[in-house]
A and B are shown apart, each in its own frame.
Chain A
Amino acid sequence: MIPLSYFFGLSIILFVLGIVAFFIKRDLITMFMAVEIMLNAANLAFITLAKAANSLHGQVIVLFVITVAAAEAAVGLAIILLVFRQKKSIKAEDMRLMNG
């Protein structure tokens, strides 16, 4: 019998940690992973609320989120690979073609 607000708090902590990770890291892959953390934090929040509202809609949404995250991960990693082939580096600072 855990109060659901604890889960919420955990979700918040995970989300903020994800943000911090995004800004601290310099390589693209880890930044991408931080994005995944954020997504998962959101999923946790959804499930918590589904339980609180006693409806399954929240869980269905989580299903979709997971699916779309998977597709996004596939395409994103493909792009990272391509960038690596061009620039031989996965440092975020090196990707500044749009400067100015």
Chain B
Amino acid sequence: MGAFLFFLLAFICVGSVLGMILSKNQAYNALFLVLAFASLGGLFGLLDAPFIAAVQIIIYAGAIMVLFIFVIMMINLRQGLTPEKKRWTLFLSAGLAVILLVEFILAIRGTFSALGHTGGEKMGTPTELGRLLFTDYLYPFEITSVLIIAALVGAIVLVKKKEKE
């Protein structure tokens, strides 16, 4: 059961990212991304992180992507953009990406067996997370809240239209 779920979710995730890459319409791109985030949330759940899974869906899929879609609507471009003309940087980046892939695989090759499996004892309950958050990670927690306020104020100030005199 778990294996089937994993492969399904993984397939959906990769598929929607691929769809995002291939599609030329920004709205479609955003929607594909929502799908990807949702499946990721599911994957988080498989990994014994229920709280994080919920947070992922609420914030990422629910808030951030909605923000994206709003902006796309405001920009309101009629037509999608064709992909780039064949500049040499394109090929270079593709090549480098492949090399990066290979390097990553090489990097974790040795640890394949050591990682273990899903299942096992339960963890990731909100209680435990909360306890950790308010003791070990208190500073980052508070600072993050300041950061959010800064982002909020900044975003509003940036986008405010100047009052025409």
**A positions within 8 Å CB-CB of B:** 1-10, 12-21, 23-27, 29-30, 32-33, 36-37, 40, 43-44, 47-48, 50-52, 54, 56-57, 59-60, 62-64, 66-75, 77-82, 84, 90-91
Contact = CB atoms under 8 A, between A and B. Distances in A.
Dominant SS at the B interface?
helix
Contact of B51 (A7, A59, A71): A59
Given A21-B21, A27-B81, A74-B155, A2 B68 contact: no
A83 B96 CA distance: 30
A11 to B, nearest CB: 9
Interface string B1-33: 011001000100110011011000010011001
A63 B59 CA distance: 10
B35 interface: no
Nearest to B115: A4
A47 B67 contact: no
Contacts of A7: 6, 43, 47
Interface in B104-118: 104-105, 108, 111-118
A87 to B, nearest CB: 12
A43 B6 CA distance: 17
A24 B84 contact: yes
Interface of B: 2-3, 6, 10, 13-14, 17-18, 20-21, 26, 29-30, 33, 36-37, 40, 43-44, 46-49, 51-52, 55-56, 59-60, 63-64, 67-68, 71-72, 74-75, 77, 81-84, 89-90, 93-94, 97, 100-101, 104-105, 108, 111-121, 123-124, 128-129, 132-133, 136-137, 140, 144, 147-148, 150-152, 154-155, 158-159
A2 B60 contact: no
B116 A52 contact: yes
B155 A78 contact: yes
B101 A66 contact: no
Contacts of A54: 120-121, 123
Given A29-B26, A40-B37, A5 B43 contact: no
B56 A66 contact: yes
24 contacts: A1-B3, A2-B2, A6-B10, A10-B14, A16-B97, A23-B90, A33-B29, A33-B30, A36-B64, A40-B60, A47-B44, A47-B52, A57-B136, A63-B55, A63-B133, A71-B150, A71-B152, A72-B151, A73-B67, A75-B154, A75-B155, A77-B71, A80-B75, A81-B75
